[in-house]
């Protein structure tokens, strides 16, 4: 048997070995990345503390404000600078996912505040091998085409959907989302919010036959912000 090989043969062999090595490295990189992502948060207490500090520094302001409800307040909370940041959304997604009902088929929320939340939670669920789709509830029905209120992969009729909200004040936004989901034939039993402003929203939500789960109360965020200023 002639074991000699030409220059071209050696080139081809080197390419195969290099390609195999690259494939192995790529596979290792992907596995490592997924392993890291699925381990977030490594410590739930630590991640909660980090999230609270992010909200206190990036989402909370003290002063004099007119809220979307028309009420005046010394506290203003806008979670979008946190939910639209990479670190913030990663922390939020896993914290929210921990409170989703086991038999829930999807998460949904009213645009715009809930858009990154439902997307982030759906991705976090996939990284944990859980099937959970994301739905966006429009503020107005689509003016063309199907005229739909809901955007996203619709679960089977009668399926359980969990509603996500960034901030609850009066509860009006999340209740609108709940109404549209129920009209579409879905079951809704729980609303999860990042911050409850403690201004009566929980009462109205309970009157609608819903459970409200809050990651943080306004008092917690305001106290953290005050402590960080010292």
Whether the per-residue pLDDT at 15 is higher than 80: the answer is no
- Domain 43-229 belongs to what topology? Rossmann fold (3.40.50)
| Token pair listed for 13 | 């062999």
Query: Which comes out higher in pLDDT, residue 12 or 69?
Result: 69
List pLDDT tens digits, range 65-87.
988 778 889 999 999 999 999 99
Q: DSSP E strands: which ranges in 111-217?
A: 133-137, 150-151, 160-168, 187-196, 211-217
Spatial contact of 133 and 164, defined as CB atoms under 8 Å apart: no
Residues sharing a CB contact under 8 Å with residue 84, sequence separation 6 or more, in sequence order: 116
Whether the per-residue pLDDT at 145 is higher than 90: the answer is no
Rounded to the nearest 10 degrees, the angle between the axes of helix 115-127 and helix 7-38 is: 120
In the chain, what are the domain boundaries?
Answer: 1-39, 43-229
Q: What is the pLDDT of residue 24?
A: 52
List pLDDT tens digits, range 183-213.
999 999 999 999 999 999 999 999 999 999 9
Q: Which residues of 61-97 are buried (b: 16+ CB within 10 A; e: fewer)?
A: eeeeeebebeeebebbbbbbebbeeeebbbbbbbbbb
Reported as a pLDDT band with limits 50, 70 and 90, residue 44 is confident
Mean pLDDT along residues 105-132: 97
Whether the per-residue pLDDT at 223 is higher than 60: the answer is yes
Cα 11 from Cα 62, distance rounded (Å): 67
């Amino acid at each position: 048997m002639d074991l000699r090989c030409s220059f071209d043969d050696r080139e081809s062999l080197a390419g195969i070995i290099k390609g195999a090595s690259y494939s192995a490295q790529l596979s290792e990189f992907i596995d490592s990345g997924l392993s890291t992502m699925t381990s977030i948060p490594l410590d739930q207490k630590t991640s909660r503390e980090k999230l609270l500090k992010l909200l206190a520094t990036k989402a909370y302001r003290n002063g004099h404000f007119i809220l979307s409800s028309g009420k005046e307040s010394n506290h203003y909370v806008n979670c979008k600078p946190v939910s639209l940041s990479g670190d913030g959304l990663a922390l939020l997604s896993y914290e929210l996912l921990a409170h989703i009902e086991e038999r829930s088929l999807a998460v949904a929320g009213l645009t715009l505040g809930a858009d990154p939340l439902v997307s982030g939670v759906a991705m976090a669920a996939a990284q944990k091998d859980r099937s959970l789709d994301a739905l966006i509830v429009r503020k107005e029905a689509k003016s063309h085409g199907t005229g739909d209120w809901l955007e996203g992969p619709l679960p089977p009729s009668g399926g359980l959907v969990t509603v996500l909200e960034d901030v609850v004040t009066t509860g009006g936004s999340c209740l609108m989302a709940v109404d549209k989901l129920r009209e579409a034939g879905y079951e809704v039993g729980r609303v999860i919010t990042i911050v409850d402003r403690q201004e009566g929203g929980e009462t109205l939500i309970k009157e609608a036959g819903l459970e409200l789960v809050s990651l943080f109360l306004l008092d917690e965020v305001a106290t953290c912000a005050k402590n960080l200023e010292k």
